[in-house]
Amino acid sequence: MTRTGPQVRHPVPPRARLSREIAPTPRRRRDRDFVKTADELGLPASTELTLETLSVAYFRLYPGAVLTGWSAAALHGVTAPGEAIPELCVGPHGRARAGLRIRRYTVPDRWVTRVRGVRVTSPAWTAFDLARFNDHVDGVLALEELYRRGFTRERMQETVDSLAGTWGVARARRVLADSDPRSESPRETETRLFLRAAGYTDFIPQVAVRELGYRLDLADPDRKIAVEYDGPHHDDPVQQSKDRHRRNRLQAAGWIVIVVDRRIFRLQRDEILRQVEAAYRLTADRGAA
């Protein structure tokens, strides 16, 4: 997950300017050439304001800090969600600022690494922080994104075990228990966790139906019940035709297929549960026949 090989030092820290450093510049030129990114901090107007660049710029205000959470993940090459904000560990003291998440603890040296000259938490500690500081579903989504980028469930298990007694470890364990490296999309995971919370714990991500050459988003293979999440690309007429053909073949092979999309998941969750319950009743009746 961490970038390897020779690394060029990150270009942002030398370009970030404290307010006092640009104060002598005429105001009109200052407003043209710099963007204020935080109280007492500015970046050249040509800088692309991403989570990574904003996070790294804060080292001018917190020179001893360590990036963590999604800020560290961004340096490790992982795409953070759009709502993520810069996150820094600053030790026991550090002034809070709008648009910045401060963590007032010290990261042990063995969990700190450097990426392009920037101090960041290691992939393992980054995963641990994302798991313990996010709410449960977001923590699972974060951990599974790291899995897709090369971090492993086994490494997360080792990390959680080694940090027994650390604040938030129980929450991180629950996130680990519900994470699944087989998941291929956040919406698939949200659907699986929703079903699990309702008591349907036998759905597995990416189940292969070898005789048909298909993989199912979520399925209980013993009962041949599938839940498929259709994203926006399924609105394409050609894709819709392919989907119908696929599901007709699955149904002919004895599968019950329940289709969920964004609108259904947002507005009709009770209906999803009713359909899943009906599917289980039907398969139970089949078994009793």
Measured distance CA(207)–CA(217) in Å, rounded: 7
pLDDT tens by residue, 142-165 = 999 999 999 999 999 999 999 999
pLDDT tens by residue, 171-199 = 999 999 999 999 999 999 999 999 999 99
**In the chain, how many domains are there?**
2
More confidently predicted of 231 and 187: 187
Asked if residues 168 and 176 have their Cβ atoms less than 8 Å apart, the reply is: no
pLDDT for the residue numbered 8: 80
H-helix or E-strand containing 147?
Answer: helix 136-148
Q: Are residues 197 and 128 in the same domain?
A: no
Parallel, antiparallel or unpaired: strands 214-220 and 225-230: antiparallel
Q: Is residue 147 part of a domain?
A: yes
pLDDT for the residue numbered 288: 64
Q: Are residues 248 and 147 in the same domain?
A: no
pLDDT for the residue numbered 5: 46
Q: Residue 31: which region, alpha, beta or left (left: phi > 0; alpha: psi -120 to 50)?
A: alpha
Q: What is the mean pLDDT of residues 54-79?
A: 94
pLDDT for the residue numbered 7: 65
Q: Are residues 36 and 171 in the same domain?
A: yes
Q: Are residues 39 and 101 in the same domain?
A: yes
36, pLDDT greater than 50: yes
289 confidence band (pLDDT: 50, 70, 90): low
Q: Is residue 3 part of a domain?
A: no
The structure tokens listed for 3 are 């970038």
Measured distance CA(23)–CA(266) in Å, rounded: 50
pTM given for the model: 0.86
Q: Are residues 174 and 220 in the same domain?
A: no
Q: Are residues 228 and 97 in the same domain?
A: no
More confidently predicted of 165 and 288: 165
Residues contacting 198, CB < 8 A, separation 6+: 273, 276
Write the burial class of residue 243 (CB in 10 Å: 0-12 exposed, 13-18 middle, 19+ buried). Answer: middle
Q: What is the mean pLDDT of the chain?
A: 92
The structure tokens listed for 30 are 């200052």
Measured distance CA(215)–CA(142) in Å, rounded: 23
Domain of 95, in residue numbers? 12-178
Q: Is residue 1 part of a domain?
A: no
4, pLDDT greater than 90: no
Q: Are residues 173 and 237 in the same domain?
A: no
Q: Are residues 275 and 132 in the same domain?
A: no
